[in-house]
Structure 1
Amino acid sequence: MIKQERAARTREAVVRAAAEVFAEEGFVPASIAAISRRAGVSTGGLHFHFTSKAALARAVEDRAAEAVRRITAGRRAVGAGAGTAAGAGEGGNPLQVLVDSSHALMALLAGDVVVRAGFGLSAEPAHESGVDLRRQWRVWVEDVLRAAAREGALADGVAPQDAARAVVASTVGLQVLGAAEREWVLPHTLTRFWTLMLPRLAARGTLGRLVAEGTAGG
């Protein structure tokens, strides 16, 4: 049992060290030697858990993808128009669900190097990624905005696919900029975005109940 716990701690340290090095240097320049030094393990110890740098990158991406799923899975029922989930925001309004979830995502990008590195890796041409985090986010945003259209939460003349493109382009853009300058993924930046966007997206009579800075549940 003690040996298993030690192995689990070592594996966790290696994944986190890899995420830090990938986030700082990118996939190609990152070396196994740099990652093992950061993790405080020998190169042989690292290879006991991960056979290659690509395997390490996949582990980082899988962790990041799971973190994103934790944001969206609890809200998917609302986004699909199937009822109300805990923490869904203002009365289960799909637009509030979207606002809250985007704040949760940006908080992860600002504070969790594994998620930050995962998004960077999934967009690197030199790395054959098995996880497309941007697509994962895009599909969920599209689902929520289709639900908003079905429930009459979108303003007249706003097509859900157009709204999804605008939201995804903006949030992914903040993620890319935030990789170099943390200001872009801080809460006030996203709040300003939603303050500008919600009056265009929300149906009349709905806007006053939406919270651009996110609800406590989000």
Structure 2
Amino acid sequence: MVKQERAARTRRSLIHAAAEVFAEAGFVPASLGVISARAGVSNGALHFHFANKGMLAEAVEAEAVETVRRITEAAQARHENDPLQAVVDAMHALVGALAEDVVVRAGFELAGDIARRAASPLRQEWQRWVEDSLRRAERAGALAEGVSWKDAARVVVAVSVGLEVLGGEDASWLSRQSVTRIWDLLLPLLTDRPDLGAPVPSGSRARAVVPPRAQSRLTRPEQR
């Protein structure tokens, strides 16, 4: 049991170290020697867990996929009957993870690395969930007339990827304020059904901290 726990800790350390190096240098320039040194283990220990750099990258992406899945499942659970608000909340949480979680950040950067020439399970996971959520929003009559779930999903996914790429150069793109402003612009185009309850651009958790009368005056929360 002790050996298994030690092996699991070593594996987690290697994945985290690999994520840091991939995020800093990219997949091709990343060195296994640098990764093992960052993790505080020998090259032999690294190769015991991962035969090559490609397998390390796959492990980073797999862990990032699990984080994205937890984000989307949590948003859907909170808003089972309001899929559009679930998408708003999930984008806020995803962008927060990009800003704060190096494994998620590295996972998305690996997804965009043409040198790997592989379909990204991470982007596929996010796109699949956004499409499913907006399809349900359309069935519920929550989308504006003339707006299809497919077009709405393409916009949301494109904006998400854009934030990820731009955030790599300028962290202000990954702020809550930045995401809120984007939803301030998008939501009036996507929905015109106030009778169903207007989605909150800053995320539904804002409802819990803003008094009902003040909420109507809220435009944007302070930047994190």
TM-score, normalised by the number of residues in structure 1:
0.88
Moved over 6 A (4+): none
- Secondary structure at 1:188's aligned position in 2? helix
- Aligned match of 1:109: 98
Partner residue of 1:145 out of 114, 134, 138: 134
- Aligned match of 1:97: 86
State whether residues 61 and 121 of structure 1, in contact with CA within 8 Å, keep that contact through their aligned partners in structure 2.
yes
- Aligned match of 1:181: 170
- Separation (CA, whole Å) in 1 of partners of 2:9 and 2:151: 45
State whether residues 95 and 148 of structure 1, in contact with CA within 8 Å, keep that contact through their aligned partners in structure 2.
yes
Structure 1 residues 137 and 172: CA distance shift in structure 2, 3 A: same
Deviation, structure 1 residue 93: 1.3
**Matched letter for residue 141 of structure 1:** V
State whether residues 75 and 89 of structure 2, in contact with CA within 8 Å, keep that contact through their aligned partners in structure 1.
no
Structure 1 residues 63 and 206: CA distance shift in structure 2, 3 A: farther
- Secondary structure at 2:194's aligned position in 1? coil
- Aligned match of 1:132: 121
- Separation (CA, whole Å) in 1 of partners of 2:180 and 2:128: 22
- Separation (CA, whole Å) in 2 of partners of 1:7 and 1:99: 39
- Secondary structure at 2:116's aligned position in 1? coil
State whether residues 195 and 212 of structure 1, in contact with CA within 8 Å, keep that contact through their aligned partners in structure 2.
yes
- Aligned match of 1:25: 25
State whether residues 143 and 190 of structure 2, in contact with CA within 8 Å, keep that contact through their aligned partners in structure 1.
yes
Structure 1 runs not aligned, ≥5 long: 77-84
Structure 2 runs not aligned, ≥5 long: 208-224
Structure 1 residues 208 and 195: CA distance shift in structure 2, 3 A: farther
Q: Calculate the aligned-residue CA RMSD, in Å.
A: 1.9
Structure 1 residues 217 and 57: CA distance shift in structure 2, 3 A: farther
Structure 1 residues 130 and 46: CA distance shift in structure 2, 3 A: farther
State whether residues 64 and 115 of structure 1, in contact with CA within 8 Å, keep that contact through their aligned partners in structure 2.
yes
User: 1 or 2 for the larger relative contact order (CA 8 Å, sep ≥6)?
Assistant: 1
State whether residues 15 and 56 of structure 1, in contact with CA within 8 Å, keep that contact through their aligned partners in structure 2.
yes
